[in-house]
Amino acid sequence: MVRPDINEEYLISRSTLAILPMEYGSKLYSQIYDLEYDQFSPSKPLELIKMSCRSFCSSYEGRKEGSRQLIGFTHKIPITIDSTNMLYFFPTASPLSKRCAWVSHVHVLHYEKVDAANTLVYFRNKKTAILPVSAYTFENQMLRTALLRTKLMQNKRNGGYGRTISRSRQISKASEHSPDYDVSHDDLITE
């Protein structure tokens, strides 16, 4: 029997497909589906999500709050671990639940109902996984994550703002008055 690859310091990357919970005795571990090869971690799925957020200079709580503000949902919120690397993940249940898996939105190719409580997910690299979540809930999570991705892309196109803001409103308060250059904020506004 081949011993599974255990990675105690795994961080989510572009090759991460999903992180599934795996009970072993009384403990909860993570089974990591990856483009290259599957791995196991002694950390819980939510712990891996939190560690990965920190590796991109943020916190899980900050990412969750940002998503909440941007898309308006309050439960089972998808998060962006790192938008530059397309790391958009969504939970299949409450993140505190023992059955919660985290799925990479960009790697899902297709999904279908197995039964009322399970969904078969096909990933882009032809791997599959049966997740303990209804197809209806899985689809809602896919749509929420697509909305999050769209809103973030719109914000990037608008210079980091949720809506287009006139150029005069973008001037920093720090430049209101500078005695070194004898320029005030009011002099910079041209309408």
Q: How confident is the model at residue 160 (pLDDT cuts 50, 70, 90)?
A: low
Reported as a single tens digit per residue, the pLDDT across 79-132 is 999 988 889 999 999 999 999 999 999 999 999 999 999 999 999 999 999 999
Residue 172 has pLDDT above 80, yes or no: no
Residue 9 has pLDDT above 70, yes or no: yes
Contact 99, 130 (CB under 8 A): no
Three-class secondary structure of residue 70 per DSSP:
helix
Q: How far apart are CA 48 and CA 94, in angstroms?
A: 15
Reported as a single tens digit per residue, the pLDDT across 11-42 is 999 999 999 999 888 899 999 999 988 999 99
pLDDT at 170: 38
Beginning with the edge strand found earlier in the chain, give each strand of the sheet holding 128-131 in spatial order: 108-115, 118-123, 128-131
pLDDT at 155: 86
Contact 17, 125 (CB under 8 A): yes
Query: Which residue do the tokens 């279908």 mark?
Result: 112
Q: How confident is the model at residue 176 (pLDDT cuts 50, 70, 90)?
A: very low
Q: What count of Cα atoms within 13 Å lies in the side-chain half-sphere of residue 108? A: 25
Torsion angle, alpha carbons of 36, 41, 45, 48, to 10? -80
Q: How confident is the model at residue 4 (pLDDT cuts 50, 70, 90)?
A: low
Instruction: Give whole-number Cα distances, 24 to 19, 96, 149, in Å.
Output: 15, 17, 35
pLDDT at 185: 43
123, containing H or E segment: strand 118-123
Helix axes 60-71, 45-55, angle to 10 degrees: 90
Q: Is 167 or 118 the better-scoring residue by pLDDT?
A: 118
Residue 179 has pLDDT above 80, yes or no: no
- Strand 27-34, strand 108-115: pairing: unpaired
Three-class secondary structure of residue 85 per DSSP:
coil
pLDDT at 183: 46
Contact 96, 136 (CB under 8 A): no
